[in-house]
Amino acid sequence: MRTMLFIGIIFGIIGLISAMSVNKDRIELSKQSANEQLAPSMKIDEVMNHLNELQKIAMATTGKNRAVGTIGFNNTLDYIENSLTANTNFKVLRRYFKRGTFSLQRNPTLISTINGVAKTHTYSTSGEFYHVQYSTSVTLNENVLLTAIPNLGCSDEDWLAARPPPAGLVVLVKRGDCTFVEKARLAEKYKVAALLFYNNGQAGDGSQPIYVNIGTGSNIPALFLSNTLGTTLVNAANDPSRMATVRLTIATAPLVPIGNICAATLTGDPTQTILIGSHTDSVPAGPGINDNGSGTAVNLALAATLYRLMQTSTYDAYKYRVQFCFWGGEELGLLGSAFHAAEAKTSTVVGERISDYLININLDMVGSPNFIFGIYDGRTAPSNTPAAARPGSLKISTLFQTLFNQNKLPWDHSAFDGRSDYGPFLAAGVVAGGLFTGADALKTVEQRNRYNSMLGSNLGGTSGIRQDRCYHLACDTTTNINQFALDIMMQAAAYSVESMGQQSDLKSWLYPAREIQEFNKQTQQTKYEYNNINEYFGMPYN
């Protein structure tokens, strides 16, 4: 493996929020190259100013948040776009897509009738049926005939063999083999009135209704039935001597538009793009200043600082385009990043194709009060991650680790667990890495002692409590930000961008052909198409 030149970095230790006391003087660490300018030029005050503005936006919003569907989210997008326009000459593009929050306006209803005997079924995961995420609305007030799809409903042959044919009818499809998304696509293809999944009766979760997802682009009304109810209805539908029908209603709230914003440098090769991403939305419970105002603010400061340096005669131009993206809908299941990656996979526009992205650096929660210095661990990329993305993801992990080691700073591995916006890019074969200061995990005694030892007494935080005590809560305000951790992560992010930007052949470094061939031998075949909703919420694929 070729070793990348590590450029020294100045980390500042500044006043610390959350009852920690540190030396307010900046401590200079050894600088190994005169070319290093981006990280030392970053200013924590600039980042905090952005956070103060994001908090003002949240506090002026009903519910005091910046969640998708609120004026707080829309004003956050306006603030980001205005900041980028005012402080850079980058090409700024805001793009909307309709995905939004899935929610029910009222509980669905299901009434079956077999040979004239009607029965109203109970709605709950411990009852007889449950709703399906991204089902569409439907009102079937008249009895509609049932038909059962043979086998598991995973092929055209299964659907064509159904008697009576499925068009215009309510279909029963057993859980198993292919994904719920694939079954729903076939249901849409064969123009059904509604889709009723039913459980398979296997040990574990095979009896009761379960909560599943049929994809954000679905146009099918769907419910999920218990094994007992599903089997009863299938037996009746398959018996020529019996008449089996259903009435049902599903009322879902309209999906709202969600915006992504990307800002790209006007210089550098657009077919070799360094992408830095952060999500813009909060949860409804609070203003989301650490999650993820912190990543948003660092991303904005990175863009402005890089632009200012690019205007000087002493700063070497990058060979590569740099693009700063701000994703909407992460808290709803990585919706913005997944939309962007999906569009890129089919685009033929130079600079907008998935092959044009060399790496995605993800910044999500980088100012946690009881922080760790988390570095995404390339070894934990899912086993079915395309081989092309694996060597570079390991290398960017090593780049960050070496930086922290050289500066005698503690760090921890953070797993690629599917809960942030790197997921859609890794699944598409794009190298990913990034930084994270912790969420709902508890800080361990070992971590506290190690951080105290390396940073100084009282800087190790508190063991046994969450790394972010205000994670997804109303108290996630600017007082929840640890400026010491934020400052270090801000400069580490800048260091990574500049280090990659100054590489002579970044593509070859991130995508070494021989190492990719070796990973190809180890990579498991992808059985299911990546689904951001399932990954984020831990929902079953099939």
Mean pLDDT, all residues of the chain: 93
Together in a domain, 236 and 274: no
Residues 77 and 118 occupy one common structural domain: no
pTM assigned to the model: 0.93
Assigned token pair, 139: 């009102």
Query: Quick one: 283 and 168 in the same domain?
Result: no
Domain assignment present for 505? yes
* Domain membership flag for residue 316: yes
Given 36, 128, 182, 330, the catalytic residue = 330
Shared domain for 79 and 181, answered yes or no, is: no
Report the number of distinct structural domains present in the chain. Answer: 2
pLDDT above 70 for 7: no
What pLDDT sits at residue 17?
32
Q: What is the mean pLDDT of residues 141-157?
A: 98
- The answer to whether 321 and 351 have CB atoms below 8 angstroms apart is yes
Q: The dihedral of CA 178, 184, 187, 189: what is its sign?
A: negative
In this predicted structure, the answer to whether residue 23 has a pLDDT above a threshold of 80 is no
Answer yes or no: is 193 within a domain.
Answer: yes
Give the start-end residues of each E strand in 328-373.
Answer: 357-363
Alpha-carbon gap, residue 323 to 303, rounded angstroms = 9
Determine, yes or no, domain membership for 444. Answer: no
* Residue 331 annotated as catalytic: no
pLDDT for the residue numbered 20 = 36
Q: 519 and 378 in one domain? A: yes
280-293 pLDDT per residue, tens = 999 999 999 999 99
Q: 274 with 384, same domain?
A: yes
The residue segments making up the domain with residue 294 are 46-100+257-438+468-537
Domain membership of residue 367 (yes or no) is yes
Provide the pLDDT for residue 217. 86
- Integer Cα distance of 131 and 448 in angstroms: 44
87 and 109 fall within a common domain: no
pLDDT at 527: 77
Give residue-wise pLDDT tens across range 228-284: 999 999 999 999 999 999 999 999 998 889 999 999 999 999 999 999 999 999 999
CATH of the domain at 201: 3.50.30.30
Those residues with Cβ within 8 angstroms of residue 506's Cβ, 6 or more apart along the chain or in another chain: 272, 274, 319, 320, 358, 359, 500
Is 202 a member of any domain? yes
Q: Is residue 116 part of a domain?
A: yes
In a domain, 23, yes or no: no
Share of the chain above pLDDT 70, in %: 94
Residues 94, 108, single domain; the answer is: no
Domain shared by 64 and 174, yes or no: no
Same domain, 148 and 275: no
CATH of the domain at 308: 3.40.630.10
In tens, the pLDDT along 337-375 reads: 999 999 999 999 999 999 999 999 999 999 999 999 999
| Same domain? 399 vs 273 | yes
Q: At which of 252, 279, 310 does a domain end?
A: 252
Q: Say if CB 277 and CB 363 are below 8 A apart.
A: yes
pLDDT tier, 39 (very low <50, low <70, confident <90, very high otherwise)? very high
Q: Which of 199, 227, 252 is the last residue of a domain?
A: 252
Which of 252, 286, 319 is a domain's end point?
252
pLDDT band per the 50, 70, 90 thresholds, residue 34: low
231 and 350 share one domain: no
